[in-house]
Amino acid sequence: MQFQQLQYFVAVAETRHFTRAADLVHVAQPSLSQQIKALERELGADLFRRARGNITLTDAGEALLPLARRILADADTARHEVQEVAQLRSGRVRLGATPSLCTGLLPDVLRAFHDRYPGVRLLVEEGGSHDLVRGLARGALDLALVVLPLPTPSPALTTVELLREDLVVVSSPDAPRPGRGRRAVRIADLEGERLVMFRHGYDLRELTVTACRAEGFEPEFAVEGGEMDAVLGFVRAGIGTAVVPRMVAARSGHGLRVTPLARPGLHRTIALAHRSDVAPPRAARELQRMLLER
């Protein structure tokens, strides 16, 4: 049974005339008649009683007609739904990002994307780069914003560098200035400072701890284990200082003193990643373009 045969069958059933039905579906009348006969052979029953000037449905034809109409309607709905996705009027994007990027980089880009494509659902998953890479590998994410270098390099991923961001030191305005009041803080000045530290697996934690150890000291934690919002809240409360991305500090500056790191400072490289073996969906590719052009 072919989809086209059902179209011809419904046309004849509705017009009760083979020639008019052929005109309706834009096919030669002999071809339409041949396809109807082929459908009857496939089903093992006559669908029409044919008499000169009088075409009527058999019992088999009456039984098939509502089913054929439903199949054609479902096919039209499927075509419409696919076109909606293709033209970015619907669909979804599953985006992974580190919490600091959800706070700093993403709000403006996602707002612009949502304004342009309001029918596309945005599903955002926060996590460290290691977790996000695993999410990409198992097909749970379409795109992910990760920190380079990846904790476990994977040839199955394609990464495109997005930006290189400075890190800064944040502290409470009511607390003593870090680095003995210097305008720019050196990593070595963090020795003896009580740091508010992110949880294990957080890219910023690894970066900060590694930098301190490279200067020959083990950082001292006032509190540890938080996500970005918690860390900033603890700093505002005067519990300690923290090293955070400049974009996050700029967006969350209320109640925070921001001090840059002296050269060479600390930086992190943000990249956009997706699986190499599977092309991202159309909506995800459009979000990727907007992120790269931001």
Q: How many CA atoms lie within 13 A of 179 on its CB side?
A: 20
Residues 234, 133, 146, 121, CA torsion sign: negative
**Of residues 138, 130, 132, the one with CA closest to residue 96:** 132
CATH says 164-268 is which class?
Answer: alpha beta
What tens digit of pLDDT does each residue of 188-225 get?
Answer: 999 999 999 998 878 889 899 999 999 999 999 999 98
- Phi and psi at 159, nearest 5°, equal -120, 140
Confidence of residue 23 (pLDDT cuts 50, 70, 90): very high
The position carrying tokens 């992190």 is 268
Q: Tell me 156's DSSP state.
A: T
| Domain 3-65 and domain 82-162+270-293 have a common topology | no
What tens digit of pLDDT does each residue of 232-271 get?
Answer: 999 999 999 999 999 888 887 778 999 999 998 999 999 9
- Phi and psi at 268, nearest 5°, equal -140, 150
Query: Domain residues of the chain, as ranges?
Result: 3-65, 82-162+270-293, 164-268
CB of 169 closer than 8 Å to CB of 178? yes
Residue 29 pLDDT: 94
- CA gap 195, 217 in Å, rounded: 13
The position carrying tokens 């069958």 is 9
Residue 284 pLDDT: 92
CATH says 3-65 is which class?
Answer: mainly alpha
Instruction: For 207-224, give one letter per residue: b (16+ CB within 10 A) or e.
Output: bbbebbeeeeeebeebbb
- Phi and psi at 237, nearest 5°, equal -75, -5
Q: How many CA atoms lie within 13 A of 203 on its CB side?
A: 29
CA–CA distances in Å: residue 38 to residues 3, 25, 69, 287: 12, 17, 19, 48
Residue 82 pLDDT: 84
Residue 169 pLDDT: 96
Q: Give SS3 for 199.
A: coil
What tens digit of pLDDT does each residue of 26-82 get?
Answer: 999 999 999 999 999 999 999 999 877 789 999 999 999 999 999 999 998 888 878
Instruction: For 54-88, give one letter per residue: b (16+ CB within 10 A) or e.
Output: ebebeeebeebbeebeebeeeeeeeeeeeeebeeb
CATH 3.40.190.10 fits 82-162+270-293, yes or no: yes
